């Protein structure tokens, strides 16, 4: 499929990059090898999202629950983030990408925190792809954050769902249109709980290190064909109020009769 032919209506894609550990285990490697291989897939998918003119790509890289993993694994994940940012910095700048981290990074090594804030500042005015890594991130914590922020700024006021949306960690990312999870599990694992209210979901058995640009494009194409109704009905399904909906016992029943 050529890029030119792929029309889509998807603004915000969120990805749960899962299956690294199992991918490595299947190959008799330590789990962390899966993270190493998974990192290069991140670069490919970022490039592709940019080429496809997707507005926002949010990638789940480390959850608040992932702190419970062995220290060595956590350290490898930190190192990979650092290396990724160093390696990709030039490309991010060249491609006008706005880079941000969403989550709590206060426990990351200082040099990684410095690199993150440098890149966030350097890309602050960029107008291309919004690339966000969810790191040290939890969806429930984000909702609590939004409520607390609102209460602090509006004491005594009731919070509405619009208020909650506008007080999230990065409000301008908006709702997620498409949530992809690799690795075969069908769950959301505390990822963007508020923003996925009406997201289309795509679960693939492919483990993250095996995920390709081709599969990514296939998913975008498939999802673009889905009808999103947001609680309404299809535009073509509108009923005139006097239409006959059934005939029972020689009686005609119209919409207005029910």
Site for ligand IPE in 127-166 (CB under 6 A): none
DSSP string for residues in 101-126: EES--TTS-HHHHHHHHHHHHHTTT-
Query: Per-residue x/- mask for ligand IPE, residues 192 to 231, rule CB under 6 A?
Result: ----------------------------------------
**Both tokens assigned to 238:** 């509108």
SS3 for 173-198, per residue? HCCCCEEEECCCCCCCCCCCCCCCCC
Pairing assessment for the beta strands 244-248 and 178-181 based on DSSP bridges: unpaired
From the list ligand IPE, Mg ion, none, which binds 41 (C-beta under 5 to 8 Å, kind-based)? none
Candidate list 10, 12, 14, 20; residue touching ligand IPE; CB under 6 A: 20
177 binds Mg ion (CB under 5 A): no
Min dist CB 57 to Mg ion, Å, is: 20
47 binds ligand IPE (CB under 6 A): no
60 binds Mg ion (CB under 5 A): no
Catalytic site residue 257? no
Min dist CB 138 to ligand IPE, Å, is: 10
Evaluate whether 45 touches 232 at the Cβ level (below 8 Å).
no
Site for ligand IPE in 168-187 (CB under 6 A): 183, 185, 187
Tell me how many degrees the CA angle 56-202-234 measures, rounded to the nearest 5: 90
Min dist CB 203 to Mg ion, Å, is: 13
Q: Which residue is nearest to Mg ion (CB)?
A: 18
Binding segment for ligand IPE (CB under 6 A), chosen from 19-27, 143-151, 222-230, 247-255, is 19-27
Long-range CB pairs of 44-47 (<8 Å, 24+ gap) are: 44/212, 44/213, 45/15, 45/211, 45/213, 45/216, 46/88, 46/97, 46/129, 46/131, 47/91, 47/213
The b-or-e profile of 144-160 (16+ CB within 10 A means b, else e) is: eebeebbeeeeeeeeee
Catalytic site residue 185? no
- The CA distance from 175 to 203, in Å, is 19
Candidate list 6, 8, 11, 22; residue touching ligand IPE; CB under 6 A: 22
Q: Which residue has the tokens 């999202």?
A: 49
Min dist CB 104 to ligand IPE, Å, is: 14
Candidate list 14, 19, 101, 133; residue touching ligand IPE; CB under 6 A: 19
Evaluate whether 88 touches 133 at the Cβ level (below 8 Å).
no
Catalytic residue among 11, 66, 79, 126: 66
Note the residues at the interface with ligand IPE (CB under 6 A): 16-22, 60-63, 65-66, 77, 183, 185, 187, 189
């Amino acid at each position: 499929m050529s890029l030119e032919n792929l029309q889509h209506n998807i603004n915000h894609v969120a990805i749960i990059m899962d299956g690294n550990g199992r991918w490595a285990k299947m190959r008799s490697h330590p789990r962390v090898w899966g993270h190493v291989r998974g990192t290069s897939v991140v670069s490919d998918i970022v490039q592709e999202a940019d080429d496809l003119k997707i507005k926002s790509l949010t990638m789940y890289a480390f959850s608040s629950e992932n702190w419970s993993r062995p220290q060595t694994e956590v350290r490898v994940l930190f190192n990979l983030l650092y290396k990724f940012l160093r390696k990709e910095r030039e490309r991010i700048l060249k491609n006008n990408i706005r880079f941000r981290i969403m989550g709590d990074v206060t426990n990351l090594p200082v040099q990684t925190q410095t690199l993150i804030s440098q890149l966030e500042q350097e890309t602050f005015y960029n107008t291309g792809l919004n690339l966000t890594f969810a790191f040290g991130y939890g969806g429930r914590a984000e909702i609590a954050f939004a409520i607390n922020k609102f209460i602090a700024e509006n004491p005594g006021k009731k919070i509405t769902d619009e208020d909650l949306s506008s007080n999230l960690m990065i409000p301008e990312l908006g709702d997620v249109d498409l949530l992809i999870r690799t690795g075969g599990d069908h769950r959301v694992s505390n990822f963007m709980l508020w923003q996925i209210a009406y997201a289309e979901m795509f679960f693939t058995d492919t483990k993250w290190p095996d995920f390709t640009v081709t599969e990514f494009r296939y998913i975008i194409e498939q999802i673009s064909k889905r009808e999103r109704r947001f609680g309404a009905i299809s535009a073509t399904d509108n009923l005139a109020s006097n239409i006959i909906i059934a005939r029972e016992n020689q009686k005609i029943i119209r919409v207005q009769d029910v």
